[in-house]
């Protein structure tokens, strides 16, 4: 019961972030329904990836900064949906790629993990 409740809380919590991308209520509701259905299954996958993706937290923080900024300037300037999606994909993709590439560079250069 608590797991299902946490799924619902996290899905409802993401509604403002979705409204930053689109104002279409259909997209907001369907994305939250799919979020509730897949959240628990994705958790175990993401928990394993967080060990490998060291910089994903930084990427997620930057996504939240972008969404917050977009919400703050919405009355002055409306950022297009494709620009928002591109920014989110770029931030998350870059953080994932840097997380995967940087350990290889450190191993090749002979630096130990304490100095990196």
How high is the pLDDT of residue 112?
Answer: 56
Integer Cα distance of 88 and 59 in angstroms: 9
pLDDT value of position 81:
87
Sign of CA dihedral 81, 18, 33, 59: positive
> How many other CB atoms sit within 10 Å of the CB of residue 55?
15
pTM to 2 decimal places: 0.57
Tokens describing residue 88 = 């989110």
| All structural domains of the chain with their residue ranges | 1-51, 53-116
d(CA 65, CA 114): 29
Neighbours of 97 (CB within 10 A): 13
Residue 105 confidence (pLDDT):
62
Asked whether the CA dihedral 78, 56, 114, 111 is positive or negative, the reply is negative
pLDDT tens for the chain, 116 residues: list them. 676 677 677 777 777 777 777 778 787 777 777 776 666 666 667 677 677 788 888 998 999 999 899 989 989 998 898 999 999 999 999 998 998 887 666 666 665 555 54
Q: What integer pLDDT is reported at residue 19 of this predicted model?
A: 77
């Amino acid at each position: 019961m608590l797991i299902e409740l946490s799924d619902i809380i996290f899905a409802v919590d993401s509604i403002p972030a979705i409204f930053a991308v689109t104002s279409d209520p259909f997209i907001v509701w369907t994305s939250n329904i799919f979020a509730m259905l897949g959240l628990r299954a994705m958790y175990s996958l993401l928990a394993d990836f967080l060990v490998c993706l060291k910089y994903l937290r930084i990427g997620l923080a930057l996504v939240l900064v972008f969404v917050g900024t977009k919400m703050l300037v919405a009355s002055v300037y409306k950022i297009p949906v494709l620009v928002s999606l591109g920014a989110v994909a770029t931030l998350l993709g870059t953080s994932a790629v840097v997380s995967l590439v940087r350990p290889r560079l450190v191993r090749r250069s002979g630096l130990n993990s304490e100095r990196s």
